[in-house]
Amino acid sequence: MQENQSVISARNLDLTFQTNDGPIHALKDVNLEINKGDFVSFIGPSGCGKTTFLRVMADLEQPTGGEVTINGVSPEEARRARAYGYVFQAAGLYPWRTIGGNIRLPLEIMGIPKAEQAERVKRVLDLVELSGFEKKFPWQLSGGMQQRASIARALSFDADILLMDEPFGALDEIVRDHLNEQLLKLWARTEKTIAFVTHSIPEAVYLSTKIVVMSPRPGRITDVIESPLPRERPLEIRETPEFLEIAHRVREGLRAGHGDD
């Protein structure tokens, strides 16, 4: 069932920011293939370029060298074709719109007919288990529920790729566990390709089929780990030796990348 069709591909990617304190080498010689249906996590300390890499895929930053393709085309073309949904660290819901209204926002922008909007809102709210909250306002929901609504919004226009930038970074451990479990279920049901930036080793190992370990100064990939864990993952899997072994390898990778500091 698993076809190895490349969806996102980066070749010799370089990105240097020109700042007042001189150039910052955010990404250096990054090569990566992400296949259809993969769940890829990017992990590394701050400044390792993981968010920058995600933003390059989303055409929010321009690389200074090398090439990225999304579904075989440039990130800009992919963005124009609305090929991906992007989930930011903050839910970023508009306080003047209901949850339903917030999810409708990208659909309105894309000019999708009213009747279809309503049907899609219903479907994605169901996917993130928020049915019945359509008429509520964001302030009436907890932080975790708001983030689920923002995931629903990113799913609403049926992009095959989901780019997530530390979506659960601001939430507490318990809520995070719950959302991780839900995200895996959602991934299994929708068969999306997901690129996920995180700070947390257990989160990366629990969620991913592929873990990309990055290190800073300059931002680069130090290790790519293909996870041997099955796609079906109960939370308890985190206590198995296989899981701990991968977590160990990620930790080793992070330490090696850190060098002397």
Partner 1 sequence: MRNIIPILTVVGLLILVWYGAAVALNAQWARDVAARADKTLTFSELVADTWSQEKPKLPAPHQVGAELWETTVMKKVTSKRSLVYHTWVTFSATFLGFVMGTALGTLLAVGIVFNRTMDMSVMPWVIASQTIPILAIAPMIIVVLNAVGLSGLLPKAIISMYLSFFPVVVGMVKGLRSPDQMQLDQMRTWHASGMQTFWKLRLPSSMPYFFTSLKVGVAASLVGAIVGEMPTGAVAGLGARLLAGSYYGQTVQIWSALIMAAALAAVMVGLIGLVQRVTLKRMGMAQ
**Least distance from C-beta 60 to partner 1, angstroms?**
5
* Site pattern 51..70 for partner 1 (x: CB under 8 A): -------xxx----------
**Least distance from C-beta 139 to partner 1, angstroms?**
6
Measure Cα distances from 107 to 147, 154, 231 in Å. Answer: 18, 10, 31
DSSP symbols for 33-97: EEETT-EEEEE-STTSSHHHHHHHHTTSS--SEEEEEETTB-HHHHHHTT-EEEE-SS----TTS
Is residue 261 at the binding interface for partner 1, with CB under 8 A as the rule? no
- Three-class DSSP category at 132: coil
**Least distance from C-beta 46 to partner 1, angstroms?**
17
Q: Could you say which of 33, 36, 88, 223 contacts partner 1 (CB under 8 A)?
A: 88
**Longest CA–CA separation in the chain, Å:** 59
Laid out side by side, the sheet with 161-165 consists of 84-87, 161-165, 193-198, 39-43, 210-215, 220-226
**Least distance from C-beta 55 to partner 1, angstroms?**
8
Is residue 96 at the binding interface for partner 1, with CB under 8 A as the rule? yes
The conformation of residue 162, written as its DSSP 8-state character, comes to E
Is residue 90 at the binding interface for partner 1, with CB under 8 A as the rule? yes
Is residue 94 at the binding interface for partner 1, with CB under 8 A as the rule? yes
Closer residue to partner 1 in complex, CB, 60/229: 60
Q: Which residue has the tokens 């010689």?
A: 29
Closer residue to partner 1 in complex, CB, 88/247: 88
Give the residues lining the site for partner 1 (CB under 8 A): 58-60, 79-80, 82, 84-86, 88-90, 92, 94-96, 105-106, 108-110, 137-139, 157
